[in-house]
Amino acid sequence: MSEMDMSYVRTEMLPEQEPPRSQTGAAKWLRENLFSGWINTILTILSLAFIALVLHEFLPWIFDSTWNANSLSECREIAPGACWAVIKERWPQLLYGFYPEELRWRVNLSFVLMLVAIAPVLFTGVPRKLLWFTAAFPVLGYWLLWGGSLWGPLMALAGFGVGAGVYAAIRPVNNLAALIAGPLAVVIWWLAAAGPVAGLLAGGVPLMLEPVPSSKFGGFSLSIIIGVTGIAFSLPLGILLALGRQSNLFIVKAICVGFIEFIRGVPLITLLFVASVLLNYFLPPGTSFDIILRVVIMVTLFASAYMAEVVRGGLAALPRGQYEAADALGLDYWKAQRLIIMPQALKISIPNIVSTFIGLFKDTTLVSIIGLLDPLGLSTAIRADTNWNGIVWELYGFIALMFFIFCYSMSRYSQYLERKLQTGHR
């Protein structure tokens, strides 16, 4: 027996063994997360008992329920649990308000088109050319929802083209004159020319949809109209306000600071009352300044003031060196903002921007206080029906679910965006 044959070292590997049961899979996870000590064990058991108790009360209510009844008292005769029949009867109202049934396809279509219009804004994978559709969507959406002649909103949009044309024509002569004449041309176009031109064009090619008055709007479509319009306009307005607040030009800065501080110092509900009540006194009697429009303007102004401060937070978080680097590259103010400052500042602000959006969307329920029938306003109206008086949880549960779907999707999108824009500095 040579020394070489005697080995203390194993020459072949032992076969791999399964880790002990207690160190893998569910058992390990449970032990580490739920039963890692006697305090945690007690807490776990108590929590489980609590969840079981809630489900024990809650599940029978949800499932021992009825979908087929014509009134609350009928519901109670059929099943002891929830009375979903009210949702079955009233869901079109909760979604569309009083929008005429045969025209609801227009609401659906504008909702789908809205999704198409915001897709290129939200996702970079979508063809860039769709952005033209996004720009045209406000006109198209307004036309689909309110009806009437397409030429009216189209001519209003054309005002921007007229303004840009005038600006481009005068700019070679005098920059300041162009800056004044451009916006002036837009206003003159809107006040004097747009109406007659639209009328003239409508005379030739009508392009009419049956008009639907604002009083027919309600439910979630109203919330979405107010919310989406507010969101879409408050971000650009907020960015401008934030830049204005940091401006070196005294008057611009004073106006922006004054606006932001005034709007933030006033509750939204006050602004809504101003929109619904005070404006009526200022305008000539008999004027019908659309109530939804008034509300949308107020909500947008309100959200833009908050947005301005959110964006300013992002601007303040940027190192001074970024501004100096932009200057060193010889970029002018707008190029520096567009290429260097804003992309970084907005990225930092994403969570707060989306929080403001979600808050804005939920704030749309406040319009029920001024008599607009948003989902919460409708729930009062539905409960005022003798058939459904006394119903509470079913309606609020449905409304809460719908709001949760919208707000949670916004939240998920912001998380996706943050991951995508993560540049790994942290």
Partner 1 sequence: MKKTVFLGSLAAAGLAAGVASATTLEDVQAAGVLKCGVTTGLVGFAAPDANGNWEGFDVAVCRAVAAAVLGDGNAVEFVPTTGKTRFTALASGEVDLLARNTTWTFSRDVDLKFTFVGINYYDGQGFLVRKDLGVSSAKELDGATVCIQTGTTTELNLADFFRANGISYEPVPIETNAEAQQQYLSNACDVYTTDASGLAATRATFEDADAHMLLPEIISKEPLGPLVRHGDEQWSDIARWTLNALISAEELGVTSANLSEMAKGTNNPEINRLMGTEGNLGEMLGLEADWAQKAIGVAGNYGEIFEANIGESTPIGLARGLNAQWTQGGLIYSPPFR
- Stretches 137-145, 250-258, 319-327, 406-414: which one binds partner 1 (CB under 8 A)? 137-145
What is 7-72 written as a DSSP string? -SS-SSPPPP-PPPGGGSHHHHHHHHHTSSSHHHHHHHHHHHHHHHHHHHHHHHHHHS-BS--SSH
Selected from 136, 139, 188, 402, the binder of partner 1 by CB under 8 A is: 139
Q: What is the DSSP letter of 266?
A: S
Binding mask 53-92 for partner 1 (x = CB under 8 A): -------------------xx--x------------xx-x
User: In angstroms, rounded to a whole number, what is the distance separating the alpha carbons of residues 296 and 232?
Assistant: 11
Run of H or E including 228: helix 219-245
Tell which positions 383-402 bind partner 1, by CB under 8 A: 383-386, 389-390, 392
Q: Does 190 bind partner 1 (CB under 8 A)?
A: yes
Q: Does 296 bind partner 1 (CB under 8 A)?
A: yes
Rounded to a whole number of angstroms, the distance between the first and last alpha carbons of the chain is: 63
Residues 6 or more apart from 263 whose CB is under 8 A from it?
271, 301, 302, 304, 305
Selected from 40, 44, 65, 93, the binder of partner 1 by CB under 8 A is: 93
User: In angstroms, rounded to a whole number, what is the distance separating the alpha carbons of residues 365 and 222?
Assistant: 10
- Residue 401 beta carbon to partner 1: minimum distance, rounded to whole angstroms: 19
Nearer residue to partner 1 within complex by CB, 34 or 113: 113
- Residue 213 beta carbon to partner 1: minimum distance, rounded to whole angstroms: 7
Q: Does 158 bind partner 1 (CB under 8 A)?
A: no
Q: Does 302 bind partner 1 (CB under 8 A)?
A: no
Q: Does 280 bind partner 1 (CB under 8 A)?
A: yes
Binding mask 222-261 for partner 1 (x = CB under 8 A): -------x---x----------------------------
303 neighbors 358 (Cβ within 8 angstroms): no
**DSSP three-state, residue 148:** strand
Q: How many residues does the chain have?
A: 426
- Residue 418 beta carbon to partner 1: minimum distance, rounded to whole angstroms: 29
Q: Does 285 bind partner 1 (CB under 8 A)?
A: yes
Selected from 60, 147, 195, 313, the binder of partner 1 by CB under 8 A is: 195
The residue whose two tokens read 């059929």 is 78
Selected from 373, 394, 399, 403, the binder of partner 1 by CB under 8 A is: 373
Residues 6 or more apart from 74 whose CB is under 8 A from it?
85
Which amino acid type is present at position 236?
P
The residue whose two tokens read 């119903």 is 391
Chain contacts with partner 1 (rule: CB under 8 A) = 72-73, 76, 89-90, 92-93, 97-98, 101, 138-139, 141-142, 146, 148, 152-153, 156-157, 159, 190-191, 194-195, 213, 215-216, 229, 233, 273, 276-277, 280-281, 283-290, 292-293, 296-297, 300, 368-373, 377, 380-386, 389-390, 392
